[in-house]
Amino acid sequence: MARAQSRRLRRIGRRASRPSYLEQLPSELWHEVLSNCSAEAVLNAAKACRAFRDIVADRNLHAVSRENVDLFYALPAPEAFLFESDPPAFRVLCLGRKNLLPYTPEVAAGFNLFATYKDCGAAPNIFDRKASVYSGASYDLFIHGGGKCYVCGKETSNYPHDLMTQLRLCSTTCLGCLHQHKGYLCPMPMPDEKGTMPSDAYLVPWLPYIRRRRKRYVLVEDLNRARQELREAGVANEEGDLSPSLDLAEAYKRRSLMRGSLEFFHHYYQAWHNHHCGYVSPMTMRNRRKTSRYGRRHGLNLISFAKNPVVRRTVAAYNRNVEYVTPAALRDAVRRSGLKVPLGKVQCDVCERIVMESGLEQHMLCIHPETVPLTRVDPASGLEVHRCESCPKSLAWLSPQQLADHRRVRHASVSVVGS
């Protein structure tokens, strides 16, 4: 009995001391897996651990990952249409398409306005915040950064379904709910139809919409916000009808120009979206078959390492076009798409370490003491409390009287020497 138990313990010990997946598999197989991913997925794997960082450091792997990116059409950016109606880099997207809108001076003026809204990401007006994502690195993060599904609220990495309304959907089920449920969309308010207000005539030229069955539909949420904005900043005439003020009328004119530019640009984005989403899935299946074939040929069990979270996140990552992303924006995208923070833990904003939520303040004091102030306002009492400067790692917040008593008792020798 004792001999069988000791034998079982020795067997468990040998099983626990086995090397990790990375030590069991040759580096050629990891190159095979990572070479079928985009540059962003390769960088995600490099942030996982030091061993992956050494594998990703190979120049040949970066060259192959860039070839995967170059297989797709370049992401059309609004900034490229400032001076050209049909840039050469995106000309192939709408080649042979009909019903394209003409490139007018108003369309060019709308593209020029996007650059003026790039610093409005924190504006109180939601329509100004929406206009700030069409220029610079914010546009690339808006396309590739993922977000919440408009219908169910789940996190999704899909591209925006519509560029004007900035809707992001996670599945075709949510797409059907969006068009069938009356709480999400409503027809564009027209003056002659029932249920519309006379002031809605000022909202029709600039309100973002979605085309459905050759008709225009707007989000109920956007319509209510636009009406609320007109009620707050509008001017009422003698009959009681609302009209926009001078400042609001200028804002409406700018929004109308930007919507006209998005109507022109929408064909290019939709062509890129259809090609990109239709090409990623077959390529992902080919990559999986190729990797499985390589594993069977070399006698390796792919199931043993496919459950690794790093491998699963890397292999399942979509090949995304990151040609226009700046290094700072790419680092932010990699940080946002990394491992999820476990429950009860938070990520430090300074060093990006994952620490316990209860020990965050102690971590800031020990590692980043320059970021912790010596004075703050107590949220319970509303009074000003202080921290002793002679105790750099102390978390005690004291009132002025308590701080004086603390210095007299604990640091009396320090005050004598200083005097």
The C-alpha atoms of residue 352 and residue 340 are separated, in whole angstroms, by 12
Q: Where are the beta strands (DSSP E) in 153-202?
A: 155-156, 185-187
Q: Do 339 and 308 meet the contact criterion of CB atoms below 8 Å apart?
A: no
Q: Do 189 and 220 meet the contact criterion of CB atoms below 8 Å apart?
A: no
Q: Do 157 and 168 meet the contact criterion of CB atoms below 8 Å apart?
A: no
Domain boundaries, given as residue ranges, for the chain:
20-145+256-339, 346-418
Q: Residue 6 is encoded by which pair of tokens?
A: 């000791």
This prediction's pTM: 0.51
CA trace torsion 50, 52, 58, 62 (10° rounding): -120
pLDDT in tens, the chain (419 residues): 555 555 544 444 444 444 444 445 566 667 666 666 655 566 666 666 666 666 766 545 555 544 444 445 667 778 778 767 777 667 666 666 666 777 888 888 888 888 787 766 556 678 888 888 887 767 777 887 778 899 888 888 788 888 888 889 988 888 888 888 778 888 888 766 666 777 888 888 889 898 887 788 899 888 888 888 888 887 777 666 777 888 888 888 888 999 988 888 888 888 887 776 655 445 455 555 555 565 555 554 444 445 555 555 555 543 333 333 344 544 454 455 454 445 566 777 777 676 777 778 777 877 787 777 788 888 777 788 888 878 766 767 888 888 888 888 877 754 433 33
Other CB atoms within a 10 A radius of the CB of residue 179 amount to 12
Determine the distance from the C-alpha atom of residue 263 to the mean position of all C-alpha atoms in its chain, rounded to a whole number. 24
In the chain, what is the straight-line distance between the N-terminal and C-terminal CA atoms, in Å?
76
